[in-house]
Amino acid sequence: MSLMTSYLKRGHTLYTDNWYTSVDLGRKLLEEDTHLVGTFRKNKRHLPKDVMTGSLKKGEFRAKENEDGMTCMKWKDKRDVYLLSTKHSIGFSRTLKRGKEIIKPKIVTDYNNAKAAVDISD
């Protein structure tokens, strides 16, 4: 959290990979008026079992939002993708992939856009 000090309480969003994303971090950041969006490993603590278990077909998802406004989602692309967001509810956006319109969860498109911006700046 010390690295984030100058960004807290300003309404920013922190995008993290599966090493850093956790429910505990999401709660701490929300207390500081800062959002968290990230992928996570399915063995993390405090995640809803009904979202995490079972298999999905490509394009299907399971999601749950808690009383704190945290959304936990499992979405099937080529493989299962696990996401946590304090910024998003369950919603979808249309994107193009190889000239075809596809529908993805908004959490996924926002995370991918943020990740792409970081990759470009590297």
When pLDDT is cut at 50, 70 and 90, the band that residue 16 belongs to is very high
Q: For residue 121, what pLDDT is reported?
A: 46
- Give the whole-number percent of the chain exceeding pLDDT 70: 95
CA 97 to CA 108: how far, in whole Å?
14
Of 99, 44, 98, nearest to 72 (Cα)?
Answer: 44
- Using an 8 Å Cβ cutoff, are 12 and 36 in contact? no
pTM recorded for the entire structure: 0.87
Cα-based distances in Å from 65 to 15, 45, 78, 98: 18, 16, 24, 32
Question: What is the pLDDT, as a whole number, of residue 33?
Answer: 96
Higher pLDDT, 24 or 1: 24
Residue 88's closest CA among 16, 30, 15, 37?
Answer: 37
Note the pLDDT of residue 3.
Answer: 79
Q: What percent of the chain has pLDDT over 90?
A: 61
CA separation for the pair 50, 69 (Å, rounded): 18
